[in-house]
Amino acid sequence: MDKSAATRMLYRLLDAGLDRAPEYGPGFSTHLPMALQALHALGATAPRLHDFAQQHVAELHARPVPAAAAEPHSWHALRGQGDAFEPLQAMFALRLQQEEPDTVLAETVPALLDGVAGGAFHGLIRTAHAVAARHEGELSMGLAYWAARHAPLAAPNEQAAADLPLADWLAQVQWLPRPQHADADAWSITRRMQAWSRTEGFGDVAPRLLLQPGTLDALARTAAGLYAATEDFTVLHMVTACQAMRQLQPWWGDEAPAMRHFSIAAAAALRASDVPPELPPARATDLAWPQIIQRAIASDDEHVVKLVQACRLHEAATGAPEFRWAAGRAVGG
């Protein structure tokens, strides 16, 4: 494989994608740039990247006429305003022309982590893929989308009891009472997460996960095992969100609040999934990584491509088998 040709194609396609809106259809997040980066990382050739893009680009929406950039000192006030994406993107693009990406990320990521649930984690995930691609235009898109869809969940109860080990925390999260709200059954993962975050007891339980070295790895391993057992679509996003958090860890700022915000969002996502209260055991796969990667590169499913790449990185960091099992399940193994 000509890696330089594949890299040139990736950048060409990411450049072209800057003309496409961050959402399409009834509010689905645009996955193409994230999937292209994942495909490239898995070893896809330039022709495969091109063909994959052609499979998906027609469904995406063109962006409107460029907007004036938001003021850098006031962008925080625009968080959570979906119609502020264009001025936010223009502002981040300008900043990335004038400042190092590391500087922009160090200032921006901590200010967005409390709204990590927005867009079903896709602001976080798109930003992480942009960092991995080292593409500043795509990074401006990811940060702007995260900011525009910034969605803090219900505030934690400051009087909550002491922190819980992961197994106890999972058990208490799973047995929270179902919310009496229409959004609990919405098609939107974000709306379901928000509905669960407003249910009785959520603020008493979700913020209580005992944070230790390796907590992110443990959450990722739990999510991967659940995906291997269920193929649940919401759980898939938990796996890829955990990898995005790992990618952006250098810019979290203080680790405790970063992981607290993420664990609250993870609790909401778990309850918004179709995983039963009695968590099922993971299911192993007979597929080896070369087979999984080959199938992922051949797949036209953006979520499969992203999940396999996330699982490969998780396994490299932890050595845990659940990530290969989840990836194998995703490709039909």
| pLDDT digit string, tens, across residues 17-63 | 999 999 999 889 999 999 999 999 999 999 999 999 999 999 999 99
What pLDDT was estimated at residue 258?
95
Across 136-144, average pLDDT: 98
Per-state percent for the chain, helix, strand, coil, to nearest 5: 70, 0, 30
- Mean pLDDT across the stretch 286-315? 98
Residue 183: the pLDDT is 74
Which range (17-31, 70-84, 171-185, 247-261) has the least confidence?
171-185
| Mean of all residue pLDDT scores within the chain | 94
Q: Please say if the pLDDT value at position 95 is more than 80.
A: yes
| Mean per-residue pLDDT, 255-276 | 95
Written as six digits, the tokens of 94 are 């300008």
Q: Using the predicted structure, report yes or no on whether residue 194 has a pLDDT greater than 70.
A: yes
What are 2's two structure tokens?
A: 């000509």
pLDDT at 66 exceeding the cut of 90: no
Cα angle 310, 125, 157; round to 5: 110
